[in-house]
Structure 1
Amino acid sequence: MFNRRQFLGYSLGITGSMFLGPRMTLASVDTDRRFVFIIQRGAADGLNTVVPYADPSYSTLRGAIAIDPAESLKLDGMFALHPALTRTAEFYGEGEALFVHAVASPYRNRSHFDGQNVLETGGTKPNQLRDGWLNRLLPLLPQSKEEAIAFAPVLPLALRGTVAVNTYSPSKLPEPTEELLMRVAAMYDRDAQLHALWAEALEVREVAVAIEEREEAANLGTMAAGFLTTESGPRIAMIETSGWDTHAGQKGRLKNQLTKLDALFGSLRDGLGDVWSKTTVLVATEFGRTAAVNGSGGTDHGTASAAMVLGGSVSGGRVVADWPGLKPAALYEGRDLTPTLDLNVLIAKATAEGLGLDPELTMRTLFPQQVFDKSLPVLVSA
């Protein structure tokens, strides 16, 4: 029989890696500028990330999961950041970060698979295009002699296409399945001593995993910066983050997710050093979440969300938004934040300005089914 220390160690060993960490993809092109695309898989909640605290309907809709204005990081008279985004707030204060709210891709049906397909291919509907917008971007830039390389088990759809991208994934032990964890819990459920130990182990694991995942995110930012600062290294990176689907228990889960994202931002900037001034980072998700909290302390699949643009040459210190408001009559289909800005136009503009390309040509190449909208203000200075 296990003693207490052995039991906790074993329990942490089988549960400590159950969450999928972020993954990185890199591409080599011959330019002095850098571009990083960070995808938030799972539909990140923009309303509790870039918080419209001054909207009179916000606190009523969000109830128990509303972010307390006193604890939030104020951006202006309308919006604030989630308190976990401390480094991000510093970037904003230094004019190196901006946020775009009430933004969405052309997709409207709330399926993760289809929403991510539209986001990564650049189509206006699922499976309309077979290659990814990030792969179509590469021929617009001078090519280096090195092939692109993806550090991921499966090449992300955004980078699939005519430009060759190799993949590499380090070996790792298989992660425990939810079924296994449920069976272990059921096995210990009738044993008073082991049930208590199992519950304690899960509590310890939750703290340990949070620390481990934060360090993992920071290490990923440092590793990405190492590649991007190498003289002959890649200039394009894609980082995948998961776990943004917060149907239940959102308050703690979103805090953990944003803490990791903030650590990723901080280590990336620190690792890039002087190269940060030549780097543009774009962060986006497939769609947002419902305006109102649900019965499980979470939010369901929605429509518009918030995107982020960071970097040393970003014209930051502002929130770009044609704010629709959160009154019942203003919600999309009576439940979601209404989209007022086009995510594809944002991607094209941030990419073009960050890499010194023609915005309209970039739009036609990355999003061939759409017309470039010139009304979006400058995001990245020349």
Structure 2
Amino acid sequence: MLTRRQFLNVAAAGAGAMLVAPQLAFARVETERRFVFVIQRGAADGLNIVVPYAEPAYTSLRGALAIDPSSATKLDGTFALHPSLAQTAQMYAAGQALFVHAVASPYRDRSHFDGQNVLETGGASPYQVKDGWLNRLVAQLPATHENAIAFAPTVPMALRGKADVTSYAPSGLPQAPDDLLVRVSQLYDQDAQLRPLWESAMAARGLAGDASARQDPASLGKLAASFLVRDDGPRIAMIETGGWDTHSAQNPRLANQLKALDTMIAALRDGMGPLWNKTTVLVATEFGRTAAANGTGGTDHGQGSVAMLMGGAVNGGRVIADWPGLKPNELYQARDLRPTTALDGLIAGAAAESLGLDPHRTAASLFSQASQAGTPQPLTGLIRS
């Protein structure tokens, strides 16, 4: 039998342009604030994104991979920002970006699939929890229509759960003519099962409007903004980015990845207009990379990384770090940046403050069901009141 998601994916074909990667997932809630979660799939190298240039062991561990601090943007006396993040640096200077270093989920192994599952579900171990923390966040807010909408061939794990999700997958096929859509509408008009599905698909198509859905980062940011600024559009969004697994040739690859991320966030900012002041963007990855370079011009799977908060609502202009150091006895298992800040706590605090919720209740709702150590302590003071 044709499922709701399968039907909407089929209905979306020809209704817009195909987003292969990154992909978008949106949630609709009754609030004027916006919260966007950007996942970096592949384990982003936090040590070369927010560079601990004052750490004596950084250069010796990284060798040729070490970022020259003279080319980076100094954030404070310890950290500098990768030179590809030019727009992000401007947001930081304007107090609209902050970085949390040596951060990680509870996961301590090195499998991408397992690490992403823990990150997206909020569990303490892989596949322990069957729904996503972002879906549970949606459920905390009142909704007047569909609780969530996913712009992807499949809904990302973080957005799966009890809160209703309608999927919409823009397609690379030519735009469907209006007369064809009218005929299909007439065909399904008397069908009790397919009519509501078709109407839901057409509502999603209407939200998309004429927004560009090309794969370039600027178009993706513009597309996301075009949904988020609408009065009848989503308030919570998820954007998937891939390509962060840099085992070889890391420097040019990471530079390109960060430039794309920077361009996408800047286009989102510009497209949001005045609503940027009510927007929070959280960027996080499943785990970090080894402190030392490997033998192929890259780094391998590690632990601690860096998370980013950006937006007009962010109380930014700072780096939050309980810095563990990079000496051999300071590393996790003598190879990785030791995590000192819980990503769960960052997510709970940022999401709650972004949407006007109680941080402790939000932390309990999103993470306590799987935590072995109880509800994580939410980080607070991240968002302007």
Q: Above 0.5 in TM-score?
A: yes
Which runs of structure 2 are paired with 1:1-382 in the superposition (5 Å)? 21-172=21-172, 216-368=216-368, 369-370=370-371, 371-374=374-377, 376-382=379-385
How far is the alpha carbon of 1:360 from its aligned partner?
0.9
Would you say the 8 A contact 2:21–2:215 is kept in 1?
A: no
The two structures have a TM-score, normalised by structure 1, of: 0.83
Would you say the 8 A contact 1:21–1:242 is kept in 2?
A: yes
Structure 1 CA distance, aligned partners of 2:147 and 2:55? 48
Seen in structure 2, the aligned counterparts of structure 1 residues 96 and 214 have a Cα distance that, compared at 3 Å, is: farther
Seen in structure 2, the aligned counterparts of structure 1 residues 222 and 375 have a Cα distance that, compared at 3 Å, is: closer
Structure 1 CA distance, aligned partners of 2:378 and 2:133? 22
Would you say the 8 A contact 2:40–2:240 is kept in 1?
A: yes
Q: Which runs of 4+ in 1 moved over 6 A?
A: none
How far is the alpha carbon of 1:146 from its aligned partner?
3.2
Structure 2 CA distance, aligned partners of 1:231 and 1:67? 43
Seen in structure 2, the aligned counterparts of structure 1 residues 171 and 232 have a Cα distance that, compared at 3 Å, is: closer
Would you say the 8 A contact 2:248–2:298 is kept in 1?
A: yes
Structure 2 CA distance, aligned partners of 1:42 and 1:215? 19
Seen in structure 2, the aligned counterparts of structure 1 residues 357 and 226 have a Cα distance that, compared at 3 Å, is: same
Structure 2 CA distance, aligned partners of 1:163 and 1:360? 21
How far is the alpha carbon of 1:147 from its aligned partner?
4.5
Seen in structure 2, the aligned counterparts of structure 1 residues 58 and 129 have a Cα distance that, compared at 3 Å, is: same
CA offsets 1:173-225 (integer angstroms, 9 cap, x no match)? 8xxxxxxxxxxxxxxxxxxxxxxxxxxxxxxxxxxxxxxx9971111111111
Structure 2 CA distance, aligned partners of 1:377 and 1:147? 26
Note the residue ranges of structure 1 that are not aligned, 5 or more in a row: 1-18, 174-212
SS at match of 2:291: coil
Structure 2 CA distance, aligned partners of 1:63 and 1:377? 36
The two structures have a TM-score, normalised by structure 2, of: 0.82
Seen in structure 2, the aligned counterparts of structure 1 residues 372 and 310 have a Cα distance that, compared at 3 Å, is: farther
Would you say the 8 A contact 1:214–1:263 is kept in 2?
A: no
RMSD of Structure 2 on Structure 1 (CA): 1.6
CA offsets 1:146-166 (integer angstroms, 9 cap, x no match)? 342111111100011011112
Would you say the 8 A contact 2:214–2:220 is kept in 1?
A: no
SS at match of 1:239: strand
CA offsets 1:311-365 (integer angstroms, 9 cap, x no match)? 1121100000000010111000000000000000000000001100011110111
Seen in structure 2, the aligned counterparts of structure 1 residues 358 and 147 have a Cα distance that, compared at 3 Å, is: closer
Structure 1 CA distance, aligned partners of 2:139 and 2:29? 9
- Give the residue type in structure 2 aligned to 1:65: L
Structure 1 CA distance, aligned partners of 2:214 and 2:99? 23
Would you say the 8 A contact 1:247–1:300 is kept in 2?
A: yes
Structure 2 CA distance, aligned partners of 1:20 and 1:235? 23
- Give the residue type in structure 1 aligned to 2:382: L
Would you say the 8 A contact 1:32–1:235 is kept in 2?
A: yes
SS at match of 2:145: coil
- Give the residue type in structure 2 aligned to 1:101: H
With 273-282 and 144-153 compared, the bigger mean Cα shift is at: 144-153
Would you say the 8 A contact 1:92–1:98 is kept in 2?
A: yes
How far is the alpha carbon of 1:367 from its aligned partner?
0.3
Aligned length: 325
Would you say the 8 A contact 2:345–2:378 is kept in 1?
A: no
Structure 1 CA distance, aligned partners of 2:134 and 2:342? 17
Structure 1 CA distance, aligned partners of 2:148 and 2:377? 31
Structure 1 CA distance, aligned partners of 2:291 and 2:269? 32
Would you say the 8 A contact 1:101–1:305 is kept in 2?
A: yes
Structure 2 CA distance, aligned partners of 1:134 and 1:141? 11
How far is the alpha carbon of 1:21 from its aligned partner?
2.5
Structure 2 CA distance, aligned partners of 1:76 and 1:215? 35
How far is the alpha carbon of 1:20 from its aligned partner?
5.7
